[in-house]
Structure formats: C-alpha cells, structure tokens
Amino acid sequence: MRARINDVELNFELDGPEGAPVVTFSHSLAASLAMWDAQVAAMKGSYRVLCFDTRGHGKSSIPPEPCPMEALSAEVIGLLDYLDVPRTHFVGLSMGGMIGQILALQYPHRVEKLVLCDTTGRVPPEAAPLWRERIRIAETHGMTALVQETLERWLSDDFRRAQPAITERVRNMILRTSVPGYVACCGAISQFDVLRELPQVTTPTLIMVGEKDPGTPVSAAEAIHDRIRGSQLVVISGALHLSNIEKASFFTEKLMAFLAQET
C-alpha cells in the first residue's frame, strides 16, 4: 500500500487484527520493511503491525531536497495520521532508532512504548569522513560496491554461512536501495545528535544491541540507557548490527515481553 505524505510516496504494510495495539517498525539505512519479516510473522496475531519503507528505500519515493532526521520523523507522524493511528509502540533499528528518538522527543504523545535497537544518540563529527566516503562510493560505483562491507558489518560470518537464503535477501535489500535515497539518509545520519536531549524522554523505553555490533556498539546503547530514566537495556549475545535478523527469536521474545509489561 502507498500513502502520499507531504511530498513523499511512502510504501507501507499493515497487518494484524483491527483494534489491536499498533506496533510500528522502522528499518535501517539501505534496508526496507522486509527487514522485519520475522517479527511481523510472530506478532501479527496479537498486534496491528505497521511497517514502512523510509523515503528513498524499498518502494518509497525520494524527493530531491535534503532530508534531516526531523523530516523522516515527521513522515512517520504523517503516516500515522493517514491511517488514523493516534498512538503506537515504535520499534526502530539503526536509522530507525534515530527516527524513534526524535519521535519520543518531539511527539511523545504519539508513542506508547519505544524500542531502540542497534542505534546511537549521537554521530560524532569525527565520523564525517566515513559518511562522505560512503556517499562517494555510492555515487561513483552504485550500491553494488557497498554490499559486501555492509553485510560484514550487519551479520556475522557464522550466520552468513549458516543462513545463505536470509543473507541473500539482505543483500537484495541493499542492492535495491536507490543511490539518491541512500545519499540523502547518509546526510541525515551524519548530522544526528540528540544525546543531550535524551533525559527529556519519558516514554517507557527498551534498548537492544548486538554484543558485537561494530557500527553502533554496546557503548552507544549504554549512553542512551544512561540518559533515559527507567529504560531497560538488553545486550544480544553474538549478534552484529542486524540483531533482529541474526538472533530473531531472542529479539522478538524480548520485544514482546517488553510490550506486554504494565506501565
């Protein structure tokens, strides 16, 4: 399904019983809503599950102007308004977790519970050359040139050997990401910094991170945990960046247990 939100055509899928609590999933850079297939399959019997492609990813369009993280977050609110969803649980991984932090800070009345996965509250200025290099590679050689190093950051060697079919699906998500969409979102990520604002978050929050995540490491999750009062932290043993895929059953179990907790 598609919805026009401001100047963006957002692709989304909505599944599960009408009237059930809504859980919204937001994917990482260079991925798509398909990243959440395991969680959707496990949760759609109990929840109304909303997944969407961030602009420039999957089947969503990419407008020509830059897109700060605030714009990506506003598009989530626009989608919720389009679907007449006043409040939702929100689960975001990596870039999706950055979107979730903005939502909790700027639209707290719309977020029931917040789950931040393999993400950070601040991308330091010294990381700017890394992001400029990724942009250069994408613009010069296309997404194919970024596939292998991305897979190696996202999924462990053991997982990629044991799960070739899942690995191939992840590979295809990366390849199908538009270069303009990737570049625009790289720009948004490289400027992201809300760490000092996070003590303002009052939404019940779960933070999950892969034990071996090289890009948004455990220390980044701990920094968020230290600043959001009452938040819970789960370190997922052996997982890299896509902890929801590499340790899908454990991830989903912890997620559902958190959503079921009384507040």
Query: Is residue 180 over pLDDT 80?
Result: yes
What is the C-alpha R_g of the chain? 17
Task: Say if pTM beats, i.e. exceeds, 0.95.
Answer: yes
Residue 33 to residues 38, 74, 76, 119, 189, Cα–Cα distance (Å): 11, 18, 13, 17, 19
Q: Are 228 and 198 in contact (CB under 8 A)?
A: yes
**pLDDT category, 241, cuts 50, 70, 90?**
very high
Q: Which pLDDT score, from 0 to 100, does residue 66 have?
A: 74
Q: Are 35 and 29 in contact (CB under 8 A)?
A: no
Average pLDDT estimate for 122-149: 97
Could you tell me the sign of the dihedral formed by the alpha carbons of 2, 166, 92, 114, in that order?
A: positive
Q: What is the DSSP letter of 197?
A: G
Q: Which pLDDT score, from 0 to 100, does residue 78 have?
A: 98
Q: Report the mean per-residue pLDDT for the chain.
A: 97
Q: Which pLDDT score, from 0 to 100, does residue 64 have?
A: 72
Average pLDDT estimate for 216-226: 98
DSSP string, 104-130: HHH-GGGEEEEEEES--SB--GGGHHH
The string of pLDDT tens digits covering residues 8-38 is 999 999 999 999 999 999 999 999 999 999 9
The string of pLDDT tens digits covering residues 41-62 is 999 999 999 999 999 999 999 9
Average pLDDT estimate for 176-204: 97
Instruction: Say which residue the tokens 């950051």 belong to.
Output: 153
Helix or strand (DSSP H, E) at 11: strand 8-15
Could you tell me the sign of the dihedral formed by the alpha carbons of 219, 221, 224, 227, in that order?
A: negative
Query: Is residue 63 over pLDDT 90?
Result: no
Q: Are strands 48-52 and 88-93 parallel, antiparallel or unpaired?
A: unpaired
Q: Which pLDDT score, from 0 to 100, does residue 16 have?
A: 98
The string of pLDDT tens digits covering residues 82-124 is 999 999 999 999 999 999 999 999 999 999 999 999 999 999 9
